[in-house]
């Protein structure tokens, strides 16, 4: 039986935590947000953490456009679910979510793209409608293999990858292993280099996670949702609840010693990044690679593609402009304001 994460664990005394998942994902605590939370700022907590449902809906909606098609393709260790728009578009753009996400998190970007772009969003193994990995391998190279299966299965000769958080590590790994297949790389609040953490730090976090995975993941996800739109917080925590515990642990264990800089150095194409106010640790990718072009976005949670979709789209358009002459495709005008 697969145990799933409870999105609404019982309230109890919070024991002291170290960097934990903040460090694991390459994120530093936003001082104001954490201070407010620890001080019991109920208004902020109610909005960002307790997921008020009485707020009016906001746009763009977090559901795919009605003309999005759903299909399944063979993956390295199970069937993968993908969402697509504009299959006849000249330049493919593949979107990859992070831990406990799913393809729908890219709905605003799918909606923004015009017919020149073949947009594809994939559910990683054990997430959304994709099968769990039959071999139990959720390492970064294995997830890069999932991206490869999507690119090959859809017969994309060259593509742009847009990836979030831990999914960005998988995108970097694939780009480094297949640099001629990737026309550009957009990293949305990417994970940092966990290999720079000590073995003792990694072991402590994983031991803590295994003791009470639902409590640990829910606690850290709620911290990373500081500044989120209420509907974004709803969606993220609901999707976290859908992911089997062993898969979430497997992905974090699989990324434990991964160094993204090795693969990034092998990829010589255009790379741009976007980071939230939370992404401030020494092991954050942009701190390790100061030459990486990065756009900082304030007033948003870790899930920038939903909190600030217009900012993510604008950066994607910038990246497209670097590649369209070579790829023979053109970006579309966003459909949201």
Domain ranges of the chain: 69-201+222-327
- Rounded to an integer, the average pLDDT of 137-158 is 96
Q: Would the pLDDT of 90 be above 60?
A: yes
Token look-up 């393809």 returns: 103
Burial of 219 (0-12, 13-18, 19+ CB in 10 A): middle
- Rounded to an integer, the average pLDDT of 223-227 is 94
192: tokens are 């940092």
- Rounded to an integer, the average pLDDT of 53-80 is 82
- Spatial CA neighbour of 202 closest among 255, 140, 246, 166: 255
Q: Would the pLDDT of 61 be above 50?
A: yes
Give percent of the chain above pLDDT 90. Answer: 65
pLDDT band at 5 (very low <50, low <70, confident <90, very high): low
322 vs 145, which has greater pLDDT?
145
153 vs 280, which has greater pLDDT?
153
Q: Would the pLDDT of 16 be above 80?
A: no
User: pLDDT tens digit string along 292-306?
Assistant: 999 999 999 999 999
Q: Would the pLDDT of 217 be above 70?
A: yes
pLDDT band at 23 (very low <50, low <70, confident <90, very high): low
Q: What pLDDT is stored for residue 20 in this prediction?
A: 53
104: tokens are 């729908």
Cα(168)–Cα(185) distance, integer angstroms: 9
Secondary element (H or E) of residue 323: helix 309-327
How many Å separate Cα 9 from the centre of its chain? 23
User: Which of 25-29, 282-286, 287-291 has the weakest average pLDDT?
Assistant: 25-29
- Spatial CA neighbour of 236 closest among 156, 165, 171, 178: 165
pLDDT band at 17 (very low <50, low <70, confident <90, very high): low
Neighbouring C-beta atoms of residue 249, cutoff 10 Å:
17
Q: What pLDDT is stored for residue 40 in this prediction?
A: 35
Q: What pLDDT is stored for residue 54 in this prediction?
A: 46
The class of domain 69-201+222-327 in CATH terms is alpha beta
Q: What pLDDT is stored for residue 257 in this prediction?
A: 84
- Rounded to an integer, the average pLDDT of 13-39 is 44
Which residues, 6 or more positions from 262, have their beta carbon under 8 angstroms from its beta carbon? 176
- Rounded to an integer, the average pLDDT of 275-291 is 91
Average pLDDT, the chain: 83
Q: What pLDDT is stored for residue 325 in this prediction?
A: 64
Q: How far apart are the first and last CA of the chain?
A: 45
Which residues, 6 or more positions from 230, have their beta carbon under 8 angstroms from its beta carbon? 47, 48, 51, 52, 53, 55, 58
For the chain, how many residues are written? Answer: 337
97 vs 34, which has greater pLDDT?
97
DSSP 53: S
Q: Would the pLDDT of 22 be above 60?
A: no
- Rounded to an integer, the average pLDDT of 123-147 is 97
DSSP 300: -
């Amino acid at each position: 039986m697969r145990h799933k994460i409870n999105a609404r664990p019982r309230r109890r005394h919070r024991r002291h935590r170290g960097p934990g998942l903040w460090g694991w994902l390459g994120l530093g605590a936003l001082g104001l947000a954490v201070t407010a939370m620890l001080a019991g700022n109920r208004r902020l907590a109610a909005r960002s953490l307790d997921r008020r449902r009485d707020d009016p809906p906001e746009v763009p909606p977090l559901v795919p456009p009605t003309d999005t098609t759903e299909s399944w393709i063979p993956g390295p260790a199970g069937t993968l679910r993908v969402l697509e728009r504009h299959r006849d578009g000249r330049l493919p753009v593949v979107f990859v979510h992070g831990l406990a996400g799913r393809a729908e998190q890219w709905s605003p970007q799918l909606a923004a793209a015009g017919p020149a772009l073949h947009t594809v969003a994939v559910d990683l193994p054990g997430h959304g409608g994709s099968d769990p990995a039959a071999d139990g391998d959720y390492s970064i190279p294995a997830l890069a293999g999932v991206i490869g299966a999507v690119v090959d299965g859809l017969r994309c000769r060259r593509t742009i990858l847009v990836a979030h958080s831990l999914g960005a590590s998988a995108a970097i790994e694939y780009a480094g292993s297949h640099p001629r297949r990737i026309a550009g790389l957009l990293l949305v609040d990417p994970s940092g280099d966990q290999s720079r953490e000590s073995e003792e730090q990694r072991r402590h976090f994983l031991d803590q996670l295994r003791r009470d995975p639902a409590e640990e993941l829910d606690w850290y996800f709620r911290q990373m949702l500081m500044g989120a739109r209420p509907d974004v917080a709803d969606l993220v925590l609901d999707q976290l609840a859908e992911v089997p515990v062993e898969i979430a642990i497997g992905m974090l264990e699989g990324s434990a010693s991964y160094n993204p800089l090795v693969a990034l150095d092998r990829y010589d194409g255009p790379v741009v990044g976007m980071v939230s106010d939370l992404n401030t640790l020494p092991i954050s990718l942009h701190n390790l690679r100061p030459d990486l072009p990065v756009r900082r976005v304030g007033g948003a949670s870790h899930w920038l593609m939903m909190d600030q979709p217009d900012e993510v789209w604008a950066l994607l358009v910038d990246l497209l402009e670097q590649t369209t002459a070579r790829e023979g495709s053109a970006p579309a005008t966003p459909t949201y304001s």
